[in-house]
Structure 1
């Protein structure tokens, strides 16, 4: 049985848009993938607010590259990994463009590749932020520039994955953020993303 680490932020954890609650098993994409795997185990490691490399002074312990070694070792051995980070890196507090966020992603990949072959790592660029994500009642930690940066992550991540020999999938090709908060996927988004990931895992001869 293949052990597959799913490392990400709130859209991997399964946050229900506009709440602090989590989609139940069978609704979040990680669990849908698990239920459809013939011979594999998804290890869920999603955390709300997680970044690639940025320390969030408002929310500690969210730095992905720092936490990854612990997650890898505690779940060892791993046969494959899915990594979907970058949305929180777009927050105004970090002032990061897509190139810098890509550098952060690479530090995460460096950690994964110490234990997992590059071709067994699936890099998933996150969904785009909605145009009104920064409005009151949604998430003012973002602004208009954040939305623009989120749109550029697909191209940046694809370029990185191709250069490093990783697999690539763009979540934004299959899912959009809910209009409730312009940041998180609804149930349909989780379902569509899970189908795309299952197909990709089959291509990778993991599922």
Structure 2
């Protein structure tokens, strides 16, 4: 007996998947420590909870792909695997279908070992957007739209991170404008997180719990509007 092949279908009741591709600011490192904030406090978790708070809408699943030290498109000379463009297309393929990809990278481009400024980091973001759009997703699956989050400006790096990010507060000057130009050229939406949060005073780079909660809350209506046509 021949068993007929059944073409798999995407169930419209399945949760919409949103991929967060980011670094330690989104991983949830507790400033001044190597500990991690709990999932409901980290902004991706806070965002998922907010998006699913209203019954009757298609659920949303926020996937965290957040690696400490990840750059946009550059290597870390001391730790392997921190180049954000390496393997990105395969991650898009792996998690498809995706309703949205959120990029929040750039802060590590300003580590003291790199000579980069805001323009360089923005070009890196542009390369990541291009890689996402060129990812080899399965036939019939959508190429996901991209939302770029501009990290908050680095303040004076202090504590154990001071040598690693020395001068970062100057290198990151003009980051929001540089990101906006790259995103507008590519037709990608962007959000300046520096309008709602600040880097922690503890180390000048990462986000404390209050900032994570505030960012998740600020992003909830933005993401809700982007996903609304798929959730009705």
TM-score (norm 1): 0.92
Question: Matched residues in 2 for 1:203 and 1:151: separation?
Answer: 30
Partner of 2:30: 16
- Structure 1 residue runs of 4 or more that deviate by more than 6 Å after TM superposition: none
Partner of 1:26: 40
Superposed displacement of residue 117, structure 1: 5.0
Question: Matched residues in 2 for 1:139 and 1:197: separation?
Answer: 30
Partner of 1:186: 208
Superposed displacement of residue 136, structure 1: 5.0
Question: Matched residues in 2 for 1:69 and 1:21: separation?
Answer: 29
Superposed displacement of residue 195, structure 1: 1.4
Partner of 2:179: 157
Question: Matched residues in 2 for 1:37 and 1:97: separation?
Answer: 35
Tell me, yes or no, if the aligned pair for 1:54 and 1:94 is still in contact at 8 Å: no
Question: Matched residues in 2 for 1:117 and 1:73: separation?
Answer: 9
Secondary structure of the 1:83 match is: strand
Question: Matched residues in 1 for 2:30 and 2:78: separation?
Answer: 21
2:89 pairs, out of 62, 65, 69, with: 69
Q: Which structure's CA Rg is the greater one? A: 2
Secondary structure of the 1:3 match is: strand
TM-score (norm 2): 0.82
1:168-187 maps to which residues of 2 (within 5 A)? 168-187=190-209
**What is the CA RMSD across the aligned residues, in angstroms?**
1.6
1:69-108 maps to which residues of 2 (within 5 A)? 69-108=89-128
The number of equivalent residue pairs is 203
Provide Cα deviations, 1:127-186, integer angstroms capped at 9, x if missing partner. 11112x0x4533311222x21222321111111111211111011111111111111111
Which structure 1 residue ranges, 5 or more long, are not aligned?
none
1:117-156 maps to which residues of 2 (within 5 A)? 117=143, 120-131=145-156, 133=157, 135=158, 137-144=160-167, 146-156=168-178
Superposed displacement of residue 68, structure 1: 1.1
Larger mean Cα displacement after TM superposition, 33-42 or 20-29: 33-42
Tell me, yes or no, if the aligned pair for 2:26 and 2:44 is still in contact at 8 Å: yes
**Mapped pair 1:2 → 2:4:** no
Secondary structure of the 1:204 match is: helix
Partner of 1:110: 130
